Amino acid sequence: MSDVEKGQREWRFYLDDMIRFAQKVQLYTGGMAQQDFTTSGLTTSAKNYPTQINKMCYSDAMKKTDGRSLPHSAREAIRRHAVAQVLSGESPEKVIKALGFHRSCIYDWLSRYEQGGEQALSTGKITGRPRKCPDEYADRLRELVKTNPLQLDFHDALWTRSMIQILLKDKFGIEVSERSVGNSLSRLGMSAQRPRFKAYEQNPDQVKVWLRETWPEVQREAKRRRARVYFGDESTIRSDYHRGTTWGVRGDTPVVAKTGRRFSVNRLSAVSPKGHLRFMVTESRVTADVFIDFLRRLLHNAKRSVYLIVDGHPIHRAKKVQEFVRNSQGKLTLVWLPPYSPELNPDELVWHHVKSQRIGRTVVATKEQLMALARSVLHSLQQNTQIIKRFFYEKHVRYILN
């Protein structure tokens, strides 16, 4: 027996018992005298006789029932059984009162039965109020939101609900509230996100050449020479960079004391798909000489030759750097990424981890503290090869593992 049939059977037994109980109580109390009621404690006056009978027949558990709280299968079983009871000779008023529903329900059920038979008592699909933003506009709206708002004569480059509200009115003639806009976007599988900014100077053709030709060739050459491949970059760690949230009393924004001075240190690092991390932290500005110092450290005690992939910054192409590479006797090879393509460099994720996950959540008072903190965070990351390997599974650098 299925769960639906079992539920319907239980409801039939329950309804039968309720109706029989009401009938027996009414027959039992019909010939009782006032003295009997007083003795039994049912009532103390004749005028309360109907009220006490009603209380006895219909307890608190049998008050008016909200059918919307019942499952569809149970509601359908109630309708079918109630109509069957009326057709067998029961009074509609007694049946619906025993069920605890409003008296108009039984007449509605009987009318539906007369017009469509037992099938009319089945529970139909409940659709609710029609959506203000119909599904036929879903694909077009999704494509419009994927475009840059500036192309549609908006002043901002980031979509907001109010802007999409205007877009719906102008393009489709639909007027909805901002809340309805949010619900519609959520239904389309969209959510508010922090965008990833990309330089419009980037040449897509050069990126394709890198992905399809240059990088595969570097992989083959490095494998043939049994060389180790690193992706390198440099960045500045500032004392006034803060990121993250904290808990506090609602309406009372927490205050974190920090220094008003501004200072910074520079980080140079290189990361490999095997989970290796090499880094250097310096107070001085990154120049060709500083970059060469980092390259020396990268080659120190290296048993294999090294391929270092960096962006096209002028420091990386400086004559001093090129001369150092030539004098390395093949131990070092520099490869340049396409211009304006930082998303292709996994070392950017190292910078994000250090700055956003650790340094941006603390407070330092001096440059020495910032230097020590940066070294400590990078050294801790260097020991955790699993985190470093996971960087290469990010969407835009996964090509390295393919």
Q: In angstroms, rounded to a whole number, what is the distance separating the alpha carbons of residues 397 and 314?
A: 23
Least confident of 58-62, 176-180, 387-391: 58-62
pTM for this prediction: 0.64
Least confident of 86-95, 122-131, 310-319: 122-131
Q: How confident is the model at residue 152 (pLDDT cuts 50, 70, 90)?
A: confident
The reported pLDDT for the residue numbered 333 is 96
CATH no. for 204-244+259-401: 3.30.420.10
- Using only the alpha carbons of the chain, give its radius of gyration: 38
- Average pLDDT over every residue of 144-167: 90
The reported pLDDT for the residue numbered 19 is 55
The reported pLDDT for the residue numbered 80 is 87
Q: In angstroms, rounded to a whole number, what is the distance separating the alpha carbons of residues 47 and 41?
A: 15
The reported pLDDT for the residue numbered 49 is 35
In order, the DSSP letters of 9-41 are: HHHHHHHHHHHHHHHHHHHHHHT--HHHHHHHT
Highest mean pLDDT among 22-31, 184-193, 241-250, 374-383: 374-383
Least confident of 194-198, 271-275, 277-281, 348-352: 194-198
The reported pLDDT for the residue numbered 5 is 52
Using DSSP's 3-state secondary structure scheme, residue 317 falls into coil
- Average pLDDT over every residue of 241-270: 89
- Average pLDDT over every residue of 361-382: 92
Q: In angstroms, rounded to a whole number, what is the distance separating the alpha carbons of residues 185 and 191?
A: 7
Q: Average pLDDT, whole number, for the chain?
A: 82
Structure tokens at 61: 């558990």
Q: In angstroms, rounded to a whole number, what is the distance separating the alpha carbons of residues 97 and 51?
A: 15
Q: Where are the domains of the chain?
A: 3-121, 135-187, 204-244+259-401
The reported pLDDT for the residue numbered 293 is 96
Structure tokens at 204: 């897509």
More confident residue, 312 or 70: 312
pLDDT digits over 53-82, tens only? Answer: 344 334 444 455 566 677 777 888 888 888
Q: In angstroms, rounded to a whole number, what is the distance separating the alpha carbons of residues 288 and 268?
A: 12
- Average pLDDT over every residue of 70-99: 85
pLDDT digits over 338-350, tens only? Answer: 999 999 999 999 9
Q: How confident is the model at residue 42 (pLDDT cuts 50, 70, 90)?
A: very low
The reported pLDDT for the residue numbered 240 is 86
For residue 292, is pLDDT > 70?
yes
For residue 16, is pLDDT > 70?
no
Which DSSP symbol is given to 258? -
Which DSSP symbol is given to 281? E
- Average pLDDT over every residue of 138-167: 89
| 343, 198 contact by CB (below 8 A) | yes
- Average pLDDT over every residue of 26-40: 44
Contacts 24+ apart (CB under 8 A), 159-168: 161/185, 167/141, 168/133, 168/137, 168/141
Q: In angstroms, rounded to a whole number, what is the distance separating the alpha carbons of residues 298 and 278?
A: 7
Using DSSP's 3-state secondary structure scheme, residue 231 falls into strand
Nearest 5 degrees, angle CA 161-CA 166-CA 172? Answer: 115
Strand 306-310 relative to strand 332-336: parallel, antiparallel, unpaired? parallel
Least confident of 170-174, 241-245, 337-341, 370-374: 241-245
For residue 166, is pLDDT > 50?
yes
- Percentage of the chain surpassing pLDDT 90? 41
More confident residue, 14 or 226: 226
